[in-house]
Structure 1
Amino acid sequence: MRATPVSPEAGGALARELAAAGLPVNDLGQPGRRFFRFDDEAGLVGYGGIEGVGADRLLRSVVVVPARRNAGLGGALVAALERAAANDGARTLYLLTTTAEPFFRRLGYAPVERSGAPAAIAGSAEFRTLCPASAAFLVKPIAA
């Protein structure tokens, strides 16, 4: 699977896919976010992003396009995002989800209390306003 950086300003397809999946798009162009388009030999698989700097990062905006779902590609897409984050110095990934908790738990993410969020995560727009308080908050340590 190939990962290609996507500029949110030039990534209309990114915003369309995220919006269609019910994921936040209001802050895509803000600083500190890196988004990727994932393709394989059959074409577009989906999109995903990493937000923040330092050891604690936010995994966000993970979507597999409808035509490619239920083929095991989501796990490969998340693994590629985890590698990219680890290669950039991240040691822990956090995420918020209202619909995909079982999927992320199968990938090794564990629930954590929102009150335990590090400042870098708790200060993000996704944590503060974009995701509802009812969203599951998950964490996973990642290796370099």
Structure 2
Amino acid sequence: MKITIRKATENEYRAIIHLLASNALPTADIYEKNITLFVGLIDEKIIATIGIETYGEVALLRSLCVKDELKNQKLGEKMLSYLLSFCTHEKIETLYLLTTTAERYFVRHSFEKITREETPLAIQQTREFQDICPASAVVMACNIT
């Protein structure tokens, strides 16, 4: 099963929103200008998505998501690997994320739990950090460089 990963087009945002919503992931702010979404495609159909919200040398990972029927096939790992390569190319030094359900998954992929206070101000000021994710969400960080 070959997956193709690329930057999402605006025409694909509706399908991305549906995929995110079906997995109870946030969609409220994905049209904001500093958010870039990527899609994973099999046979030209969107089966996965991942995004990044960029603030200079730091960024916030946005909603890694794979269609339910294709989970546990390492597609999420391929999406995450693609995003980490993108971060290297864009000279992003640290990637942050908020999660209420996937802490163990991201620990296996070099992310470490940090406190909300340790999070850079640029990330603390995002809608996801302030409004969208609950205060109980775990904050994690991965050094890229």
Matched, 1:4 2:26: no
Instruction: State which of 63, 69, 74 in structure 2 corresponds to 1:61.
Output: 63
Q: For each residue in 1:18-41, what CA deviation from the matched residue of structure 2 results, as whole angstroms up to 9, or x when unmatched?
A: 011111101011110000001256
Equivalent residue, structure 1, for 2:53: 51
Instruction: Give 1:82's aligned amino acid.
Output: L
Equivalent residue, structure 2, for 1:96: 98
Equivalent residue, structure 2, for 1:30: 32
8 Å Cα contact 1:9-1:29 kept in structure 2: no
Distance in 1, Cα, partners of 2:28 & 2:5? 23
Equivalent residue, structure 1, for 2:19: 17
Equivalent residue, structure 2, for 1:123: 125
Distance in 1, Cα, partners of 2:26 & 2:100? 12
Equivalent residue, structure 2, for 1:134: 136
Instruction: Give 1:36's aligned amino acid.
Output: F
**Taking structure 1 as reference, are residues 42 and 8 closer, same or farther at Cα in structure 2, changes over 3 Å only?**
closer
Deviation at 1:2, TM superposition (A): 2.4
TM-score normalized by the length of structure 1: 0.92
8 Å Cα contact 1:33-1:50 kept in structure 2: yes
TM-score normalized by the length of structure 2: 0.91
Identity %: 31
After the TM superposition, which segments of 4 or more aligned residues of structure 1 sit over 6 Å from their partners?
none
Three-state SS of the structure 2 residue aligned to 1:11 is helix
8 Å Cα contact 1:8-1:35 kept in structure 2: no
Distance in 2, Cα, partners of 1:136 & 1:106? 15
Deviation at 1:61, TM superposition (A): 1.3
8 Å Cα contact 2:100-2:137 kept in structure 1: yes
Equivalent residue, structure 2, for 1:109: 111
Instruction: Give 2:74's aligned amino acid.
Output: G
8 Å Cα contact 1:8-1:28 kept in structure 2: no
Mark the runs of 5 or more structure 1 residues left unpaired by the alignment: none
Three-state SS of the structure 1 residue aligned to 2:63 is strand
Deviation at 1:43, TM superposition (A): 5.3
Distance in 1, Cα, partners of 2:68 & 2:119? 32
